C-alpha cells in the first residue's frame, strides 16, 4: 500500500461506511483506527444500528474518508471497498486494544467492535497535482 494512503488513513479518524441490502443504500459515520499490518479499519458501533445489521447481511462494504478541506489544491480523500468483519472473541480483543490506544475516552461508553478488511482503495490527492489518484488493490 502506498505510504501516502497509509499516512492519510492513520492521520484521520472518521469514516463513512456504505451498506446495501435489497438495493437500498445506506451510510453512517464512525470513528475508526487504521491497522496498517492487517489493512483493516476498526470501529465501534451498536449491533442494533441499521449499518451494522446490513453489514452482517451483506458484508460487501464501501466507504470513504475525507478531512473536510475545501481548498481545491489541498483536497485529499479516500474511497474504499472491503469485507465487513464480525470479529471472533480473540480478534475483538486485539481490535479493542488498537482502538482504545487511539480513543481511550471510548471506554466510557462500551460498544461492540467491528472491522472492514480493505480490498481496494483510491486516494485523490490534489497536493500531488490536480486530480492525482493513487490506487491500491489487495
Where are the chain's structural domains?
3-137
CA 58 to chain CA mean position, Å: 16
CATH 2.30.110.10 fits 3-137, yes or no: yes
Instruction: Give the integer Cα–Cα distance in Å for 83 and 10.
Output: 19
Return the beta strands (E) in 7-112 as ranges. 14-21, 24-35, 40-44, 60-66, 76-85
Q: What is the pLDDT of residue 67?
A: 85
Q: What is the pLDDT of residue 74?
A: 85
Q: How many CB atoms lie within 10 A of CB 135?
A: 10
Angle 16-113-125 from CA coordinates, rounded to 5°: 30
pLDDT tens digits in sequence order for the chain, 138 residues long: 889 999 999 999 999 999 999 999 999 999 999 999 999 999 999 999 999 999 999 999 999 999 887 788 888 999 999 999 999 999 999 999 999 999 999 999 989 999 999 999 999 988 888 888 999 999
Amino acid at each position: 500500500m502506498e505510504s501516502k494512503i497509509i499516512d492519510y488513513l492513520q492521520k484521520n479518524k472518521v469514516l463513512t461506511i456504505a451498506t446495501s441490502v435489497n438495493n437500498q443504500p445506506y451510510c453512517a459515520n464512525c470513528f475508526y483506527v487504521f491497522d496498517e499490518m492487517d489493512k483493516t479499519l476498526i470501529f465501534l458501533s451498536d449491533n442494533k444500528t441499521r449499518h451494522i445489521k446490513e453489514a452482517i447481511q451483506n458484508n460487501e462494504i464501501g466507504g470513504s474518508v475525507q478531512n473536510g478541506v475545501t481548498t481545491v489544491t489541498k483536497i485529499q480523500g479516500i474511497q474504499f471497498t472491503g469485507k465487513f468483519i464480525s470479529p471472533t472473541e480473540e480478534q475483538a480483543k486485539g481490535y479493542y486494544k488498537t482502538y482504545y490506544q487511539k480513543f481511550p475516552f471510548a471506554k466510557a461508553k462500551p460498544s461492540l467492535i467491528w472491522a472492514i478488511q480493505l480490498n481496494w482503495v483510491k486516494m485523490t490527492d490534489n497536493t500531488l497535482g490536480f486530480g492525482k489518484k493513487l490506487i491500491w488493490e489487495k
